[in-house]
Amino acid sequence: MTPPPAEPVAALIRPPPVARDSQVNRDLLRVMDGVSVGYFGVLALALGFMFAAGGVWIYQVYKGLGIAGYAHPIFWGSYIVTFVFWVGIAHAGTLISAILYLFRAKWRNAINRSAEAMTVFAVLTAAQFLGIHVGRIWKSYFILPYPNQRALWVNFKSPLLWDTFAITTYATISIVFFYVGLIPDLAIARDRSTGWRRALYTVLSLGWEGTSRQWKSHNRTVLHLSGLATPLVLSVHSVVSWDFAMSIVPTWHATIFAPYFVAGAIFSGFAMVLTMMIPVRRIYGLEHIITDYHFENMSRFLLLTSLIVGYAYCAEYFIAWYSGVEAEQTSFWSRAFGPYWISTWVMISCNAIFPQILWFKKARTHVPTLFVLSVLINIGMWFERYVIIIGGLSREYDPAVWGTYTPQWTELIIVAGSFGFFCQFFLMFLKVFPVVAIAEVKEIEIHARAHGEGH
Amino acid sequence: MSEIDRREFLKIVGVGAGAAAAAGCYRYSELPEKLIPYVIQDEEIIPGLPVIYASTCQECSAGCGVHVRTRESRPIKLEGNPQHPINRGSLCARGQAGIGRTYHPDRYVGPLQRGSDGAFAKTTWDDAQHTVAARIAAAQGKVAVLGAPTGPALSRLIDAWLAAVGGGSRVVYEPFAREALREATSAVFGVASEPIFDLEGCDLVIDFGADSVGGSGRSPVEHARQLMAARDVAKEEGRASRLVYVGPRLDETASVADEWLPAKPGSEGVLALAVARVAFETRSKGAPGSEASLQGVLAGFSPESAAERTGVSADAIRRLGRAVAAAKKAVALPPGVALTSRRAVATNAAVLVLDVVAGAVGTSLHIPPATETRVASFRDAVKLIDAMKSGDVKVLLVHGGANPVHTLPPDSGFTAALEKVGTVVSFASLPDETSERAHFVLPDHTPLESWGDAAPRPGVRSLVQPTIRPLFDTQALGDSLLGIARAMGDGVAGSLPAGSFRGVVESAWSGTSLRAALERGGEFGEGSYASPSLSASLARIEWREPQLEGEGEFVLLPVPSPLLGDGSGAHLPWLQETPDPITKITWQSWAEISERAAASLGVRPGDVLKVETPFGSLEVPVWPRGGIRDDVIAVAIGQGHTVGRYAAVQTPDGSSAPRGVNVISVLPSLTDEAGGRAWLAAKARVRAAGRFERLPFTQETDDKRGRMLGEAISLVALAEGGPSPWAPNQAAAVVDHGTPITGAAAAATPLGEVAPGEHAGEGDKHHEPEILRAYDAVADSLPTDPFRWGMTIDVDRCTGCSACVVACSIENNVPIVGETQVKRARIMSWLRIERYVGTGEPTLQPARPGPQNHEELGKTDVRNSPMLCQHCGAAPCEPVCPVLATYHSPSGLNGMIYNRCIGTRYCSNNCPYKVRRFNWYDYQIETWPQPQPLMLNPDVTVRAQGVMEKCTFCIQRIQAGRLLAKTEGNATPADGAVKTACQQTCPTGAIHFGNLKDEKSEVREAAAQGAGRAYHALHDLNTRPAITYLARVRREGEDHSA
Amino acid sequence: MKPSPLHALVAALGALGVFSLWTGLGASRVEAADDGPLVAHSVCEAHELEARKAADPSLQIEIPQEFASPWPSRAACLSHTAAEDASTPGPVQPIPFSHKHHAGLFQIDCQYCHTGTDRSRAAGVPSVQLCMGCHSQFPPTYDELAGIRTLKQHWEEKKTIEWEQIYRLPEYVKFQHRAHVQRGVACQTCHGPIEEMDKVYMTSDTVWWPWLLPAHKPEMGWCIDCHRRNGATQDCQACHY
């Protein structure tokens, strides 16, 4: 997919409401200090889910994957579904930070920090599922191409191996990106904090003084990192999509998969950013920094990617019909009208139909609508993967062994746990790091003021 | 060294490998780390190499010879004895599973006596024998022995023993006894013995509901082999041969038949006579079977009247009659258990008359002289029950696995009568409903532990020899009887043979070289048969259809389960978990009714039916089919046990509930004209019970949607010659235009005919059969490697009997997962037999299709296609495995390395044939309760939790063969030296295996011969499978669909 | 095969063993040597004393008649003692059987006892009967060796001997002895200098892969290395099925 061209987006920028520097600092750092009961409640909930899932997982390792809903011939289930889902979520961060940075879309500054954080957490969550999914976790190191006494090598032809590489690379880059971006703000935090926080920030901010030289090299680093990260946005989910596209399963073996998955990933990523940021903004009163105007721009992105995804859905069915391959047709038919028709229609309506309301400015600027929509989109995108994986495997070439899959409570707990895992990270992040890139927000203001004087 | 010494040795060997394997149900790390050599090593035994002993299968009365493959003197596999005239090296599913009896976890481990508290208590053989002896002495001749038919030696001993202990009655009881046929034979030919049918080279076989190739036929392995040999399409006469099936239900035999006449159940006799009459009239005078005496018999049976009575069209009868007259070698097979009605003698006689007219007598039907061995008699059983009721039986001894409590109808009153018997002694080795009611259990050895013999037919004497030292404190039945006699004092024992029962068997073989017999498995000569003429009593038979009890709208058809037989097989998990050849249901009972009937009852598959007869009622899930008459409800015999770890359902609280239903519980205890047992005797009232039970089936639809699986070709198309319509270069064409979802092309395809696109190849007839080119053996294995292992499977020969499935499971330590796991599609079998009906239509699926059935009454377009790993040349599973746990071996095999597998399961997703199985749990712990691990094959790794597994083409046998060849100084094993387990046991020789690089190998020969009908499963995916299928050949036969 | 630290250890332990043996015998003599000649209490001791006397003729020794026998030979005595010495590597077996004595000194072919090794996957362990085949013919004086007594007891009671397994591979490794024996691979290639061991232990052998990784015996890499060097099969299914 292509983001909107630089000029128009830059042109979109109207001076945001101005606050004085110290004011911005205080507003943003206020988020970090003091924890409310509500905060603890939410955190406890998240941790609860996480530990429950951990327990189930240990039981699964001991007893065997049989406790999940797998049924011949459906050998991949909710775990891979959720894995792909989280990898998808992980995309918004890099997109916003890297691509929009390159395009100089300044409005990203208000959200890029949290987006990057989400990227890191989402990738970590996704990585969990590679381990949860395999039959013999205790042997899973076999998949790493390390020199060993057995003189055995791994199979570089296998998309699963590419996957492993893609995920690890992406995790590394996004963590670096996240951290580099943090440095100036950590310095600000350092200057305004005491005790262990001060110690921590001192170490992490690597002696940042804010000198012009530092700023120069900082900007250059970010620029180069963006350059590095940009191709990843496209490559990672392409590779994930090849797990499916490279196989011969009907409905999987399609050239459209890479772009289709990337678009879907960004779609879900933006949705997740909205789902997370809307409450945060509300609770910590950051309306003047993360403005409706930012949300509106994100909505435009949602609309765009939703259209791409919707197009992919149509294309799949068209090709199935046009190819004349009976197995393909049967599989797609049963996807829409077979055992999984509910999931399919949830996916289509949440991802392709509901987002159409974003054509209206009213909807784009009405925050509650956006929130509901973003949640719907997240649900829709989870079901998209469910439909692709389960639907594809349940109707393959040999009709004698067509099967049906019903998720079991065990795997659903683990799936729920993954959200807990993700949320607890995010909640911690809120309290330890500035949730919005202070420095960059200020940057905008300075620009803005400069322009203002100019006029 | 002679057998005798070997026996002594086995008494004192320490079985080291046994110790290791016994621990097979523990994790590897817990195996004992000792090397335990023999004290005295039998020179036959080299640890690590199998020793094979010849014996006889005891699972049914057919008397097939087996080779018992032992490792370190533990039997690990049964295989057919190639020298045995009856099964010629093959074995059926039941025979294969028979090995499990010896290692069954439920076995009685020693003699038991019921204590005062009513519970069994351990006792010693000495005490038990003395107590029983005392009771018998006290009974003063009011003693009865009830048991299954036994070998001559044992039979004689029992008779002698009874006489010695002061007399008493002996009842030979067998649920599936064929008394009616014996009676009919004496009525028609004046000889009271059971005819032997020889289908060798028959060009017309009419099966009147015997289901001869089905698991419960008279001699299924033999008949399946003979029938398929006679129908070999490679030969001219084979193409001319026809199989016609008469019966209310599309069973195994009907599935492979060319023509199916769903006659009204019970009217088979009328049909037979009508056909006979037409044949008789067509026949020229003087030909065999044109005796004048027949005229009177046949007079009353005009095709028209018969058509009315049987529901089969008159011209069908005429055509069949003319076919009989024209046939060179025709035979009609009398009904089996399911159609044994109250007029069974007449029905059987009618069929025999048809045989006479067809001139089968002496050629394909042989009548042995009346045998001296005791034969089963239901009349005796009924007499015994009366005696028991009236207290005239003080001591009852039950032997040979006879289980009357389960196999006799309740209204026979056996169970009640049993209460009246003071002392019931059971010799069962496995607990069953009868032995659980006994006062004494003196457990018998299993067949693998005992001596014995069998005389299945004149000229064939077969030996049973022990191949393992008794696992538990059991004692051979013969020895127990002798022991009891001795306990009664010399007065009694004096008249009986001294020494052990083994001595008795040996003396029975004294005339012959025992050593030679032990090596061969018995004495196999030509039998002498009577050449009978029609008996006068023929005239006295009255030919009427039977009356059925009750006025339900359905005829209740109790069919013998192909796998469980009369229920004795229900104790063997391999048989329970092997899908029924017709419905693909495991572990459960089901009722078959027609789809029309189901619609009128408003039930869908799995809905529970309430089946009521005047004699009781039962509730059983329904399985609607197209292939059954509308007025018939069929329920398989064999399930419904309440005792047994596998035969019954074990509830969490430790008690056991019945598994499935026992249809016998709603049958009357009625007899045929001559007092034989009548099975087809009741009508049933059927209604929906309003419940649903998920049946553990393994195949949801029999619609192959026109895909290249289980293909069939019409004889016409085949006769045109030319390359296979599915040959690679044309196959591309077929696939490329595919079948549009409109289904137009498929709809235009008549069932069984070749789809339009598939004719593309007929343009160029001149070139080689391309199918062979697709082997491209060199390309799919290393050029330097001498092998490319491959298979040829002849779908036309597959009867779906599933012997291969069981053989594979036992050879490869495939775990048993149980009913609940099968319901979750977790069955582990490496080899499944897919059953497709017709070419199928790519119709669009409803939301929840549920099980679908496309059979049609009177149509037989069934394709049984065994599906196993195709060992593709371009295997989709190989490139996707990240750790190379599955890979392409130098010999072209698709290797699966369990210890490398991390369980991503990608390979299975990418396998279009879906032949890979995953260890969802640690089955090696869950499926092998002691002492079952003793039967694990030491040459095959027991797979651990979380790894993928699949068919390996029996790699352990391949490796052994290669190394053996080297030992003998050959570079490679000779063709046929390496046999896979499935190939080895296939009764019809449908499976060929060998080296594709060897131009003259059997596997290539087979493929070349069938080149005109060869195809690769799902060829369009270009996986280059190593397995070539030969399509089923549809001979033209009249369509009897209503 | 390079000498490894383990070898040094083995050598040291071996030396220690011999030394302790010597002092042991010495001690028993010292008691007897208060006054009068040294008296042997067993054939083995008799051998020892004779050896001593050969070394210094002045030594007064007395060998009772019943111990004046050539059997068991001195070598047998030493091997027997060494084989039951717990301080040397390798597990103590139920019978202190010495491969050094049988395979080394007497040059008995490995396959004389380990029959079927050339035909079967497994290397057979000799039956008690096979041992007795020779040992039943030996003079009764041999019974002073505990091992012989144990053997005969097992034979009389028809009881199996439970040897400690030393070379042990997982279930999923199907090592084929016959294939290797037929190709003429010496037993020592894998089992080490078995004919020099009184008590069998697993000798260590290590292959260093180019990427500087050790593959220890009997790990898979160690097998693979040999297979590579000798152009033997590297098909996984040759061993794993």
Calculate mean pLDDT across residues C19-23.
Answer: 50
Q: Does the distance separating the beta carbons of A147 and C220 come in below 8 Å? A: no
For residue C11, name the pLDDT band (cuts at 50, 70, 90).
Answer: low
For residue B767, name the pLDDT band (cuts at 50, 70, 90).
Answer: very low
Contacts of A150 in chain C (CB under 8 A): 215, 219-221, 224
Q: Does the distance separating the beta carbons of A150 and C224 come in below 8 Å? A: yes
List chains adjacent to chain B, taking adjacency as at least 3 C-beta pairs closer than 8 Å: A, C
- To the nearest 10 degrees (0 to 180), the angle between helices A257-283 and A78-89 is 70
- As given in the structure block, the two tokens for residue B1005 are 């020969």
Q: Does the distance separating the beta carbons of B917 and A72 come in below 8 Å? A: yes
Q: Is B837 on the interface with A (CB under 8 A)?
A: no
Collapsing DSSP to helix, strand or coil, A366 comes out as coil
List chains adjacent to chain C, taking adjacency as at least 3 C-beta pairs closer than 8 Å: A, B
- To the nearest 10 degrees (0 to 180), the angle between helices C5-32 and C74-83 is 120
**Percent helix, strand, coil in chain C (nearest 5)?**
50, 5, 45
More confident residue, A209 or B646: B646
Calculate mean pLDDT across residues B761-766.
Answer: 40
Q: Which residue of B has its CA nearest to C233?
A: B890
Q: Is the pLDDT of residue B206 over 60?
A: yes
pLDDT at B13: 37
Range of lowest pLDDT (A41-45, A292-296, B470-474, B735-739): B735-739
First to last CA, chain A: 37
C40 half-sphere exposure, CB direction, 13 A CA radius: 22
Q: Does the distance separating the beta carbons of C211 and A149 come in below 8 Å? A: no
- Mutation pick from A148, A155, A388 vs chain B, by most beta carbons of B within 10 Å, is A155
Which residue's entry shows tokens 């030292």? Answer: B469
B205 half-sphere exposure, CB direction, 13 A CA radius: 32
Closest CB to B825: pick one of A65, A71, A397. Answer: A71
DSSP string across C19-78 = HHHHHHHHHHHHHHTSSS-EE-SSHHHHHHHHHHHHH-TT--EE--GGG--S-S-HHHHH
- Mutation pick from A149, A150, A152, A153 vs chain C, by most beta carbons of C within 10 Å, is A149
C-alpha separations of B771 from B204, B722, B730, B792, B1030 in Å: 32, 12, 10, 11, 10
Collapsing DSSP to helix, strand or coil, B506 comes out as helix
List chains adjacent to chain A, taking adjacency as at least 3 C-beta pairs closer than 8 Å: B, C
Q: Does the distance separating the beta carbons of B967 and C118 come in below 8 Å? A: yes
Collapsing DSSP to helix, strand or coil, B163 comes out as helix
Closest CB to C125: pick one of B35, B941, B966. Answer: B35
Calculate mean pLDDT across residues B660-685.
Answer: 91
* pLDDT tens, position by position, B902-928: 999 999 999 999 999 999 998 877 778
CB-based burial of residue B832 (10 Å sphere; 0-12 exposed, 13-18 middle, 19+ buried)?
buried
For residue B849, name the pLDDT band (cuts at 50, 70, 90).
Answer: low
pLDDT at B720: 81
What are the residues of chain B with a beta carbon less than 8 Å away from any beta carbon of chain C?
Answer: 12, 14, 16, 28, 31, 33-41, 46-49, 887, 889-891, 893, 895, 897-900, 939-942, 952, 955-956, 959, 963, 966-967
In chain B, the percentage of residues whose pLDDT exceeds 70 is 90
Contacts of B836 in chain A (CB under 8 A): 400
Q: How much is the mean pLDDT over chain B?
A: 85
Q: Is C219 on the interface with A (CB under 8 A)?
A: yes
Q: Is C214 on the interface with A (CB under 8 A)?
A: yes
* pLDDT tens, position by position, B355-372: 988 888 888 999 988 876
pLDDT at A448: 59
Contacts of A147 in chain C (CB under 8 A): 209, 211, 213
A224 half-sphere exposure, CB direction, 13 A CA radius: 7
DSSP string across A249-261 = -TTT--TTHHHHH
Is beta strand B632-637 parallel, antiparallel or unpaired with respect to B554-560? parallel
Per residue in A106-141, is it b (16+ CB within 10 Å) or e — as a string?
bbbbbbbbbbbbbbbbbbbbbbbbbebbbbbbebbe
Q: Does the distance separating the beta carbons of C174 and B956 come in below 8 Å? A: yes
CA atoms of B581 and B361, how far apart (whole Å): 32
* pLDDT tens, position by position, C178-237: 999 988 999 999 999 999 999 999 998 888 888 778 888 888 999 999 999 999 999 999
B267 half-sphere exposure, CB direction, 13 A CA radius: 19
Residue B1006 pairs with which residues in a beta bridge? Answer: none
CA atoms of B899 and B885, how far apart (whole Å): 8
Range of lowest pLDDT (A435-444, B572-581, B737-746, C115-124): B737-746
Range of lowest pLDDT (B77-86, B383-392, B779-788): B779-788
Contacts of B682 (CB under 8 A, 6+ apart): B548, B549, B550, B552, B556, B613, B614, B615, B666, B667, B668
- As given in the structure block, the two tokens for residue B522 are 């018995």
Q: Is the pLDDT of residue C65 over 80?
A: yes
Q: How much is the mean pLDDT over chain C?
A: 84
- Mutation pick from A75, A162, A167, A322 vs chain B, by most beta carbons of B within 10 Å, is A75
Contacts of C219 in chain A (CB under 8 A): 149-150
Collapsing DSSP to helix, strand or coil, A412 comes out as helix
Q: Is the pLDDT of residue B6 over 80?
A: no
Torsion angle (degrees, nearest 10) of CA B790, B949, C171, C215: 90
Q: Does the distance separating the beta carbons of A149 and C216 come in below 8 Å? A: yes
Note the ipTM here. Answer: 0.86
More confident residue, C36 or B433: B433
pLDDT at C1: 43
Closest CB to C121: pick one of B48, B889, B898. Answer: B48
* pLDDT tens, position by position, B994-1039: 998 888 899 988 988 888 888 989 888 888 899 999 999 988 754 4
Q: Is B694 on the interface with A (CB under 8 A)?
A: no
What are the residues of chain A with a beta carbon less than 8 Å away from any beta carbon of chain C?
Answer: 147-151
| Contact yes or no for A235/A319 (Cβ under 8 A) | no
pLDDT at B32: 53
Contacts of C177 in chain B (CB under 8 A): 48
CA atoms of A256 and B49, how far apart (whole Å): 56
- As given in the structure block, the two tokens for residue B911 are 């396998």
pTM of structure: 0.89
- As given in the structure block, the two tokens for residue C84 are 């039951």
| Contact yes or no for B174/B61 (Cβ under 8 A) | yes
For residue B736, name the pLDDT band (cuts at 50, 70, 90).
Answer: very low
Torsion angle (degrees, nearest 10) of CA A262, A267, A268, A270: 120
* pLDDT tens, position by position, B929-966: 888 888 999 999 999 899 999 999 999 999 999 999 98
Q: Is the pLDDT of residue B443 over 90?
A: yes
Which residue's entry shows tokens 């069949």? Answer: B320
pLDDT at C37: 83
Q: Is A157 on the interface with B (CB under 8 A)?
A: yes
Calculate mean pLDDT across residues B450-472.
Answer: 90
Per-residue pLDDT of chain A (455 residues; tens, 9 = 90+): 444 444 444 444 444 444 445 666 666 666 666 778 888 899 999 999 999 999 999 999 999 999 999 998 999 999 999 999 999 998 877 787 777 777 777 667 777 788 888 889 999 999 999 899 999 999 999 998 888 888 888 999 999 999 889 889 899 988 998 898 888 888 888 887 778 888 888 888 888 888 889 889 988 988 888 888 888 888 888 999 999 999 999 999 988 999 999 999 989 988 988 898 888 888 887 787 788 888 888 899 899 999 999 999 999 999 998 988 888 988 998 888 888 889 999 999 999 999 999 999 888 888 899 999 999 999 999 999 999 999 999 989 999 999 889 999 999 999 999 999 999 998 888 888 887 777 666 666 666 555 544 44
CA atoms of A104 and A94, how far apart (whole Å): 14
Calculate mean pLDDT across residues B180-204.
Answer: 90
Nearest-Cα distance to chain A for C215, in Å, is 5
pLDDT at B141: 85
- Number of neighbours of residue A446 by Cβ within 10 angstroms: 10
- As given in the structure block, the two tokens for residue B956 are 């352990």
- As given in the structure block, the two tokens for residue B415 are 């169970």
CA atoms of B636 and B662, how far apart (whole Å): 8
Q: Is the pLDDT of residue B592 over 90?
A: yes
* pLDDT tens, position by position, B394-410: 999 999 889 999 999 99
Contacts of B883 in chain A (CB under 8 A): 142-143, 154-155
* pLDDT tens, position by position, B90-107: 999 999 999 999 999 999
CA atoms of B155 and B828, how far apart (whole Å): 42
Q: Is C185 on the interface with B (CB under 8 A)?
A: no
